Amino acid sequence: MSCSVLPHRRLLTLDERLEHAAARPVIVPETIVCDHGKVFVSNNFRASCRYLGVNLQPAHKATLPIPNRLDVFRYRNMMAAMARAATTSDAFNAIAEPQRRDILALLRAGERPVTDLAQELGMSQPGASKHLRVLREVGLVRVRGVGKQRLYGLDARGLRPVHEWVGGFERFWNESFDRLDTYVQDLKQTRQEE
């Protein structure tokens, strides 16, 4: 740990990390890219990534390793039982991903096949399919088969909880804009009187 860039003395124990974990959002990467340096990726680490749904990929062969930027721990200590909010638990988690919001924006115009969505967003077809699966599981997207093709369409009813939640802030902003409008009108009137 002599070359560690992590503040290892301030790291919390597992019990301290999991205390109130359900009340806090947890960030779990979708992909970890391992360089071709001196890092040993154990079977336990790979199994933990599979369990957490994290895609583990090797870096491109031309990528140079970053020296002294990666600490080696026993992976069971790093990856033990993290709390994770499922992306399929509700619409809020599903639309937290910008690419999923982009997919919903494209589907506003009408039904489209996954290949069109992937091409429009510059992503792979399997990547777009994974995003569509998440959106379908929370009820934001519907799918129907037409011959060999599957068409995906927007089901905006699933956005009702988001709309209702944002509605409270809309009232706040409307009141703020009303106050701003009153202030601007007062300024105009003051300038006209001068």
Of 88, 155, 143, the residue nearest 114 (C-alpha): 143
pLDDT at 11: 61
Count of H-run helices and E-run strands, the chain: 8, 5
Q: What is the pTM of this model?
A: 0.49
Q: Within 34-159, where are the H helices?
A: 43-52, 75-79, 91-94, 98-107, 114-121, 125-137
Residue 154 host element (H or E):
strand 149-154
What is the pLDDT, as a whole number, of residue 79?
39
Structure token digits, residue 68: 């002294």
What's the confidence (pLDDT) of residue 26? Answer: 55
- Side chain identity, residue 52: L
Say if residues 128 and 134 touch (Cβ distance below 8 Å): no
- Residue 67: the pLDDT is 53
Distance CA 160, CA 120 (A): 27
Residue 180 has pLDDT above 60, yes or no: yes
Two tokens, residue 77: 């200590």
Tell me the pLDDT tens digit for each residue of 79-104: 333 344 455 678 888 888 889 999 99
The torsion of the CA quartet 95, 111, 134, 139, rounded to 10 degrees, works out to 80
3 state DSSP class of 141: strand
* Residue 71 vs residue 37, higher pLDDT: 37
User: CA-CA distance, 106 to 124, in Å (whole number)?
Assistant: 16
pLDDT at 50: 80
Span 121-170, pLDDT tens digits: 899 999 999 999 999 988 999 999 988 889 999 998 988 888 888 888 88
The answer to whether 114 touches 103, Cβ cutoff 8 Å, is no
